[in-house]
Structure 1
Amino acid sequence: MSNLADELKQMIIDVLALEDISIDDIDDEAPLFNEGLGLDSIDALELGLALKKRYNIHLNAESEDTKQHFRSIQSLVKLVESQAA
């Protein structure tokens, strides 16, 4: 598992105040929304702001690409890596 994945998991836990969850509880491939971690659209907005602050990534909330980026930790890792390149 990459350090970036752990960093993103910790960011999700911190930003969304998920006190009962540790980074080990979040599977890299599990969905972040619905049946996975159970995040909702408000959570997505907060995560989008956190990604903008921490990694200077600007996302379009209405974009289908954005929905794909937020699919799992793995897809967020790919997004951050692609923006950093």
Structure 2
Amino acid sequence: MPDSLAVRLKQLVVSTLKLDDLRPEDIPDDEPLFGSPKFGLDSIDALELVVQIEKEFGVKIGSSEESRKALASIATLAAYIRSQKPGA
């Protein structure tokens, strides 16, 4: 059974970053979001994602080091959100 938080995060990534040529189900949970030629995301994309995640989930992603770790993949992002908001 798919992780509902991971599914929601994939939808958020696609819609926030307007990745029209990518479907949420095409994003593997453990594939790097940044530095991967598949997604082509950059630091501006990271900032947009952080803002949207903070708005959507009410979690604060502090330093750039913290955001780099949290945004490594869908799986790490889901784990980060769960650590900040138990029950998410």
- TM > 0.5 between the two? yes
Aligned to 1:74: 75
Unaligned runs of 5+ in 2: none
Aligned to 1:48: 50
**Mapping 1:11-22, distance limit 5 Å:** 11-22=12-23
State the number of aligned residues.
84
Rounded Cα–Cα distance in structure 2 between residues aligned with 1:39 and 1:56: 23
Percent identity between the aligned chains?
A: 37
TM-score, length-scaled by structure 1: 0.91
Rounded Cα–Cα distance in structure 1 between residues aligned with 2:42 and 2:10: 16
CA RMSD of aligned residues (A): 1.2
TM-score, length-scaled by structure 2: 0.88
